[in-house]
Chains A and B, each alone.
Chain A
Amino acid sequence: MGDVFKALADPTRRTILDELTARDGQTLFEICGRLTTNHGLTSSRQAVSQHLDVLERAGLVETRREGRYKFHHINTDPLEPIIERWLRRRTTCGSD
């Protein structure tokens, strides 16, 4: 779970996940374009690539090679334990 929180601690990485929620399955080029034009972020392509590596190591982003292209997909599975640990439990308590 530590990797997930570390990955989410950075605002640019959270914004990348926002944009992958808006459209899942993007090339590095599209992600960079969206960060620049939709959010005014000026991270270099290399910096964005490194952010994606962190997200991928945390399991929040998966890459898919399709032929010669590489697409990035969001994976929210690593967020489930957070819900299980705090949110669902609170809901259960509240319903007692």
Chain B
Amino acid sequence: MAEEEDDVRIRLTSVLVDDQDRALRFYTEILGFEKKHDVPLGEDRWLTVVSPDDPDGVELLLEPSGHPAAKPFKDALVADGIPFTQFAVDDVRKEYDRLRDLGVRFTQEPTTMGQTTTAVLDDTCGNLIQLAHQS
């Protein structure tokens, strides 16, 4: 029924960050994404990053978490160790070693459960992020 151009696609996803400057540094300099858009928008910026392997792929919006509901929501997730979202890597253990050397804090060391290996890190902007690969 739907023409191809009508298909719903994921072009953008977002994380709620406490501070956009700090988020940009962490997501580019530490995690290794590249900045795609940085446009002033009211008090904040429309700030997105992409994977260097796929610059025209899904963008990650570093969205300010200024809404009063955001902080209690994020704090509760972090306290229970629940990641806000998940990124794919080729090898979780290798990435864990690389990031830990850069001073990144992990709340879960690499763990293989079934076919999936995961680890959970702190993005310094109020979120936990899960890294994952499938074996």
A8 to B128, CA, bound (A): 32
Asked whether B79 lies within 8 Å of A30 as measured between CB atoms, the reply is: no
Most buried by B among A26, A29, A37, A70: A29
A residues sitting closer than 8 Å to B (CB atoms) are 23, 26-30, 33-34, 36-38, 45, 68-71
Stretch at the interface among B24-32, B41-49, B86-94, B109-117: B109-117
Q: Is B80 touching A29 in the complex (CB atoms < 8 A)? A: yes
User: Of the candidates B79, B80, B113, which one forms a contact with A34 in the assembled complex, judged by CB atoms under 8 Å apart?
Assistant: B113
**Is residue B15 within 8 Å, beta carbon to beta carbon, of the partner chain?**
no
Q: Which of B104-135 contact A (CB under 8 A)?
A: 107-109, 111, 113-114, 116, 118, 120, 122
B81 touching A28 by the CB < 8 A rule? yes
Write the nearest CB–CB distance from B23 to chain A, whole angstroms: 17
Interface assignment of B82: CB less than 8 Å from any CB of chain A: yes
Contact check: which of B80, B114, B118, B122 meets A28 at CB < 8 Å?
B80
